[in-house]
Amino acid sequence: MRRVMSVILAGGAGERLSILSAERAKPAVPFGGRYRIIDFTLSNCANSNINNVAVLTQFNPRSLAQHIGIGRPWDLDRASGGVVLLQPFMSQSSRGWYKGTADAVYQNLYYLEDQRIDEVLILSGDHIYTMRYDHMIAIHRNRNADVTVAVTEVPKSECSRFGIITLDHNERIVRFEEKPEEAKSDLASMGIYIFNKDVLFECLGADANNKDSGHDFGKDILPEVIGKLRVFGYRFRGYWRDVGTVESYWQANMDLIIELPVLNLYDPETEVQTVHRNLPPVKVGPKAKVIRSLISDGAIVNGCVENSIISPRVLLEEDAVVRDSIIFDDTTVRKGAIVDRSIIDKLVWVGSGSCVGYGDDFTANTKEPDHLNTGITIVGKGARIPGNIRIGRNCKISCWVENSDFVSDSVPSGETIFKKSQGRRLI
């Protein structure tokens, strides 16, 4: 779509995802076996014919930058337009680290000023959904709107997690409530905004001069313009998930393996692109058993996989069992090991006879009770779990732990295993 530029906010630390985002930006967290979270936003741009994209990074940008590269999977490797990664920088006039979503865009206005565009599409890089932005932009133009905000219905019980929007009979926004305890509407902001270019510049300039502002689009910019400008809502009725928590991330992955998933990864009209890797086909052994799961290229399955997602180059040995779990790339689950309702990061070694996610004790994690409290155990990148050990529910096994970091053959539910040595392995 001509004269539109998309700006993808991809700099958040993602603390609620615990160690899954310890060594990578949240948008770079693997998803669905073969994707990264940001693939969905980038693919939506490609499917909407938006080929001028800026990705604003900040926290742990290395893996995200490597993944995006020059944007070839999304047809963004162009001489004119294409994709560019923008990071915070210090100068005589710059303020350094981004202080909020609005501040991130404000610090890069110099780049937007040079673009021959009429509208700026502000996007989040950490949501799972497929959407045609060109449809939303067409409606924005037909309404002669200054700002358009994408909204979607959410259960009343979840309204306190979102910015809640009320529309009038003309679909104009008349009220915005940030994470209300008692919401007057069930329409949540999706963190997708279309601004006319001049309107965006004016709003960001005023916000930058407001010392009391948190410099956030949802909390500060949007409430300020309602009633002053032509601000409309755009109703989105497809699948959309904010995967900002361990539970929501796990559930969004599990949504892919139901019989008729709402998020259809097989629709050519909304195809999700990612970096292509030349990997061999999946190999399923003579004693293997696979039930309602996704198995990625390069995986070798000799054990049992049930209601799980297996990423590339994962090895499951004979008599290994993976249930209701997500296993990232290059992980080995040895003979007789059990992984139950867990998320296992890359390059992990699960020793023979071990059990990750054991028992009926659902005590919340003592270090992260707000993030790990639904029975999901997470194992960080590069961890080595000894053989014949039992790890309970809501446990956190830190990145790169070794056999010597485990002091017994049992890790009670809610406990955390830290790496004793401060040295870091670089891979």
DSSP string, 14-75: -GGGGGGGSSS-GGGSEETTTEETHHHHHHHHHHTT--EEEEEE-SS-HHHHHHHTT-GGGT
Specify the pLDDT at position 347: 98
pLDDT at 275: 95
Measure the CA–CA gap between 179 and 164, rounded to whole angstroms: 7
Condensed to tens digits (0 to 9), the pLDDT of residues 268-285 reads 888 999 999 999 999 999
pLDDT of residue 99: 82
**Domain edge (last residue) among 270, 300, 316:** 270
Q: Which of 5-14, 85-94, 117-126 is predicted with the least confidence, judged by mean pLDDT?
A: 85-94
| DSSP assignment string, 237-295 | -S-EEE--SHHHHHHHHHGGGSSS-SS-TT-GGGPPP------PPPEE-TT-EEES-EE
CATH of the domain at 360: 2.160.10.10
Q: Identify whether residues 264 and 319 lie together within a single domain.
A: no
CATH code of the domain containing 92: 3.90.550.10
- The domain containing residue 244 runs over which residues? 4-270
CA 96 to centroid of chain Cα atoms = 25
Give pLDDT, residue 426.
42
Flag whether 424 is in a domain. Answer: no
* 247-266 mean pLDDT: 95
Residue 212 lies in a domain: yes
Q: Which pLDDT belongs to residue 80?
A: 79
Tell whether 57 and 175 lie within a shared domain. Answer: yes
- Asked if pLDDT for residue 212 goes beyond 90, the answer is no
Residue 93 is predicted with a pLDDT of 56
More confidently predicted of 333 and 178: 333
Note whether 266 and 315 are same-domain residues.
no
Q: Are residues 304 and 191 in the same domain?
A: no
Question: What distances in angstroms separate CA 374 from CA 19, 74, 85, 143, 159, one per listed residue?
Answer: 16, 36, 36, 44, 19
pLDDT of residue 88: 80
For residues 117 and 201, membership in a common domain is answered with yes
Residues 300 and 247 in one domain: no
* 293 and 390 housed in the same domain: yes
Strands 240-242 and 127-129, by their bridges, are antiparallel
Which residue reads 């002091």 in tokens? Answer: 407
Cα separation, 375 vs 362, whole angstroms: 5
247 and 327 together in one domain? no
User: pLDDT by residue (tens digit) across 350-400?
Assistant: 999 999 999 999 999 999 999 999 999 999 999 999 999 999 999 999 999
In the chain, the percentage of residues whose pLDDT exceeds 90 is 81
**How many independent structural domains does the chain possess?**
2
Residue 422: band (very low, low, confident or very high) from pLDDT cuts 50, 70, 90: low
The proportion of the chain whose per-residue pLDDT surpasses 70, expressed as a percent, equals 96
d(CA 239, CA 228): 31
In a domain, 10, yes or no: yes
Same-domain check for residues 78 and 167:
yes
- 426 occurs within a structural domain: no
Domain presence at residue 275: no
pLDDT for the residue 338: 98
- Of 217, 237, 270, the domain-final residue: 270
| Sign of the four-CA dihedral 123, 126, 127, 129 | positive
CA angle centred on 6, ends 13 and 113, rounded to 5°: 105
Is the pLDDT score of 327 beyond 50?
yes
Q: Are residues 341 and 241 in the same domain?
A: no
Whether residues 62 and 86 fall in one domain? yes
427 in a domain, yes or no?
no
Q: Is the pLDDT of residue 91 over 80?
A: no
Contact 329, 346 (CB under 8 A): yes
Structure confidence by residue, pLDDT tens digits, 132-170: 999 999 999 999 999 999 999 999 888 888 999 999 999
259: left (phi over 0), alpha (psi -120 to 50) or beta: alpha
**Is residue 34 one of the residues assigned to a domain?**
yes
Sign of CA dihedral 179, 180, 181, 182: negative
At residue 427, the pLDDT reads 43
In the predicted structure, residue 252 carries a pLDDT above the cut 80: yes
- Residue owning tokens 């097989």: 266
The mean pLDDT value of the chain amounts to 93
Q: Which of 270, 305, 334 is the last residue of a domain?
A: 270
* Beta-carbon contacts of residue 270 (< 8 Å; ≥ 6 apart): 43, 44, 47, 130, 131, 132, 264
b/e burial code for range 51-84 (CB count within 10 A of at least 16 → b): bbbbbbbbbbbeebeebbeebebbbbeeeeebbb
The predicted model gives 38-61 an average pLDDT of 94
In the prediction, which pLDDT does 95 show?
Answer: 60
pLDDT bucket at 94, cuts 50 / 70 / 90: low
Is 50 exceeded by the pLDDT of residue 340? yes
User: Does residue 111 belong to any structural domain of this protein?
Assistant: yes
Same domain, 79 and 226: yes
DSSP secondary-structure letter at 369?
A: T
Separation of alpha carbons 141 and 270, rounded Å: 23
- pLDDT band, very low/low/confident/very high, at 79 (cuts 50, 70, 90): confident
Higher pLDDT, 107 or 424: 107
